[in-house]
Amino acid sequence: MFSLQNKHAVITGAGSGIGRAVALLFARQGATVYVADVNEAQATEVVKEIEAGGGKASALVADVSDQKKIVQLFSGLAGLDILVNSAGVSHIGSAETTGEADFDRLYNVNVKGVYNCLHAAIPLMKKNKGGVILNMGSIAALVGLPDRFAYAMTKGAVSAMTLSVAKDYLHDNIRCNSISPARVHTPFVDGFLKKNYPGKEAEMFEKLSKTQPIGRMAKPEEIASLILYLCSEEASFITGCDYPIDGGFTTLNN
């Protein structure tokens, strides 16, 4: 089950965190993986890791906010069956404390970046008579989180784009879904704690972990497993859906 043999998959933000976990898992399942990331060194490292395990991968230096470059990159691919829009940035702040520069930065990566990849990928999938798109949402679009104004805005847009694409391309055999994780233990979390809570990293990590009713953060590999299912033939009847993967955050936090 869940074989991706003979599939070509682009994964944005694949140099670290969830994107990296998805790239490694997809390669193990037989896909040819395009590891797309703005950080060339990290993307290359993931490719080396995949190739060391016998998988097939190529690195793409990709700034998702630059449509011209994204279209050029995608047009040079050997094939495209799966797109995972995992690239994203975060920000802490309310509507009052979020500056215009940070708002624009989040919009350019988390919203325009997803649009740019959709804009480049969908024509290739139509030529290929079908494809699968998985967008990275967040529980921030489903519930009110404190001090996540701009981030929540971007993830709400991702949810809307997911539904729109799923509707528009039903007859092109293109499926589009999203997932909405709660907190996931990635290098971003460690960097955030080190920067904002020096000397109290362990204490704050425990506090953030306990905000999930299940009592811990997710592992990137757990998120990748759900993405694998939704991008596989076993999920061929699923489109236009969002899947919370949140340790009970959206349903049990009361």
Nearest to 245 by CA among 254, 233, 232, 225: 225
Catalytically annotated residue among 34, 115, 151, 169: 151
Compute CA 192 distance to the chain's CA centroid, rounded to the nearest angstrom: 19
Compute, in degrees rounded to 10, the torsion defined by CA atoms 34, 37, 39, 44. -10
DSSP 162-190: HHHHHHHTGGGTEEEEEEEE--B--HHHH
Question: Is 151 a catalytic site residue?
Answer: yes
Nearest to 87 by CA among 10, 168, 145: 10
Which residue reads 């759900």 in tokens?
226
In this structure, what are the phi and psi dihedrals at residue 145, rounded to the nearest 5 degrees? -105, 140
End-to-end CA distance of the chain: 37
Residues identified as active-site = 151
